[in-house]
Amino acid sequence: MTTTDWEARYQSGDMPWEKGEGSPGLADFLRDRPDLPRGSVLVPGCGTGHDARTWARHGFTPTGLDIAPSAIRIATERTAAEGLNASFRLGDFLREPASERFDWVFEHTLFCAIQPADRDLYAESVHRWLRPGGNFLAIHYMIRDVEGPPFGCTQEELIERFKSRFEWVAGWVPRSYPNRAGLELMIWWRRRAE
C-alpha cells in the first residue's frame, strides 16, 4: 500500500480536485434549506477551503481540518481576503482525538482520497467528531477505480459502513462540477445517540 504525500501534491500543483469553487451540491443544499439551525461544521480534508467558505456565507461556523500545511495556508489566506468567519487548522482527521464535537461534519472527496484500508477508521472518526444527533453530510465521488486516489466505492458499501452509527436522512444525486456530473452521491445522515 502506498500512501499519498498530500503536501507534495499541493507544492507541485498536482491538484486535480481543485475546481476554484465550492461543491455545487453543497451550494444547492444550503440555498434550499434557509431554515436549518446554524451551528458548527467540521470540514475534514478541507483543501483550499472552498466548501468551508460556502458554509460560512450561509451563517454557519466552519472549521477546516487538513493534513497538508499548504492547504491550510491557502485556505486561511483566501478566507481572510474575503473577510469570512471560518477557521482552519492542521490535523489528521483519522488519528487525532476530537478537539470538540461539531453539529455537522461535511465530507467532500476525503472518503475517496484515503486508503480504502482506512475506511473503518474514517467512519469511527466521523462519529467521534460529531455530537450525538449531529449531521453528517457527504458528497461521495462514485467511481469504480481501484488504483487511487481517488478510490472507488459503491452505495451499498457506504450504507454498510455508516448505518450502524448513523441514521439515514436522505440521499440524492446532486448538481456537480461538469466533469463529475452524475458521478456524485450526496447522503445526509444523523449520528445516533449512543
Ligand X SMILES: C[S@@+](CC[C@H](N)C(=O)[O-])C[C@H]1O[C@@H](n2cnc3c(N)ncnc32)[C@H](O)[C@@H]1O
Given the rule CB under 6 A, which residues bind ligand X? 6, 17-18, 44-47, 65-68, 71, 92-94, 108-110, 113-114
Least distance from C-beta 171 to ligand X, angstroms? 19
Question: Cell 453528517 appears where?
Answer: 136
Q: Which is nearer to ligand X, 106 or 166 (CB)?
A: 106
Q: Which is nearer to ligand X, 40 or 70 (CB)?
A: 70
Q: Which is nearer to ligand X, 18 or 34 (CB)?
A: 18
Asked whether the CA dihedral 91, 93, 97, 99 is positive or negative, the reply is: positive
Q: Which is nearer to ligand X, 69 or 132 (CB)?
A: 69
Least distance from C-beta 193 to ligand X, angstroms? 26
C-alpha cell, 187: 447522503
Least distance from C-beta 72 to ligand X, angstroms? 9
Q: Which is nearer to ligand X, 43 or 166 (CB)?
A: 43
Least distance from C-beta 48 to ligand X, angstroms? 7
Least distance from C-beta 6 to ligand X, angstroms? 3
